[in-house]
Amino acid sequence: MSGPSRTPATPSASAALTNDQLARRSRREQRLIPSAGHAVGLVMVLATYLLLPHVLDNLWATVAVQAGILCIGGLGLNLLTGYAGQASLGHAAFISIGVFAASYVGRSAAYGGKGQPFLAYLVVAIIAGAVVGFVVGLPALRLRGPYLVIVTLGLVYATSYALTQWVTVSGGSVGAFTPVSTQIGTFNFQTMSVGRDQGLVYLVWGFAAVTGLVVKNIVRSRPGRALQAIRDRDVAAEVVGISLFRYKVGAFVVSSAIAAAAGVFYSTTAARFTADTQNFGLALSVSFLAAIIVGGIGTVYGTAIGAIIIAALPTVVTEYGANIPGVSDHLVTIFSGMIVAAVLVVTLITQPAGIAGSIQRLKSRNLRRVPESAAS
């Protein structure tokens, strides 16, 4: 099965370690916060989270919300594609399920909805995503490589069609209004003193952090190792007693539940959505894939970095592109439209392991240097 493999530890370095040391190192790597450096990093990220919305103007706050949505969905996709090795172009379908579940349960009865509060439609969307993920995961058990990729693309079209036909939920070709409430109890993120979009930054990135923790805990424990074993050699994984059914389908369920949650937050970005493939098509799936590839597939922090880059780039181009001398407005428009795809292409050609891969490579280069200098 396709899927990225981790950079193997250099044989010379591991050979020098005793089994005991190896076991200790592996236990340390599995800790949530492996070192003091990581703890400092986390505190800095937390400080940024608390302060940043006060600094961002409305435009960049919208970008930050987009980045948070890409990060949440990307974490789910990373679990499925990065860890379990199940290549999927179907993420847009699950996002759309989240959007319309939120819309139907959340919008007021006047618009044909149920008028339920934020937490209710978040939960309903997650359950809907999980159920559809289960249904999709079953046939995916039989499909491999390019066939799975094309079938997941078909899923995007099929979901778009099914939702458009289901007029009660999606409003058909007219589209459905999205609920504006993001209220938990009496606290509403959109009426915070920092501003609407800035408040949403808190909400979305807060949820992204929770998702990150969930995904991190999955991948650093038994299920995560099982998923990676399936990714690297699924037949071998089955032979050593890993249930392909449980873990492959499980990866689809968790991944699409997370994607549906991302869809709930996506629904805050527009007042109305239609279920057509202009909104929820190949391009949307690719932006999530671009986020995890650029950041570094198979890593949790890489997903966050990639999401920020992919969300910010088009706006960076449109905001600052015209300032570069000799660049016409037309060129800026062309470039902002293709920047995500272009960055994806360049990343895949030059550094398929993404930014996390570059960091990893720098680290291991430093590690290797120490014993070499000690030997000479």
Partner 1 sequence: MKRDNIVIAVVGAVLLGLCVYLAIDDATTFFTFVAAGIALGAVYALVSLGFVVVYRATGIVNFAQVGLVMFGAFFTQNAYVTWGWSFWPSVLASIVVTALVAVLIERIAMRRMIGKPLFFTILLSIGIFLVFYSLVTSIWIGFEGNTLHSPWFTGGQHTFGKVAVLDVDIATAVAGAAVLLVFFALFRFTKMGLAMRATAIDPEAALAQGIRVPRVVAASWATAGIVAVVTGVMLGSGAEPKVALSAAGIAKVALAALPAMVLGGLDSPGGAVVGGLTIGLAYELFLGYYQQYFSALGNTFADVMPYLVMILILLVRPSGLFGTRDVRRV
Residue ranges in contact with partner 1 by CB under 8 A: 2-5, 81, 85, 87, 89, 139, 142-147, 149-151, 153-155, 157-158, 160-161, 164-165, 233, 235-236, 239, 282-283, 286, 289-290, 293, 330, 333-334, 337-338, 340-342, 344-345, 348-349, 352
Q: Which of 88/182 has CB closer to partner 1?
A: 88
**Nearer to partner 1 among residue 55 and residue 348 (C-beta):** 348
**Cα within 13 Å of Cα(113), Cβ side:** 23
Minimum CB separation of residue 300 from partner 1 in Å reads 19
173-185 b/e (C-beta count within 10 Å ≥ 16 → b): eebbbbbebbeee
- Give min distance, CB of 131 to partner 1, in A: 18
- Residue 354's identity, in one-letter code, is G
**Closer residue to partner 1, CB minimum distance, 213 or 282:** 282
Q: How far is the CB of 318 from partner 1 (least distance, A)?
A: 14
Question: CB of 215 within 8 A of CB of 79?
Answer: yes
Nearer to partner 1 among residue 67 and residue 153 (C-beta): 153
Minimum CB distance to partner 1, residue 345 (Å) = 4
Beta carbon of residue 62, minimum distance to partner 1 (angstroms, whole number):
22
Shortest distance in whole angstroms from residue 107 CB to partner 1: 23
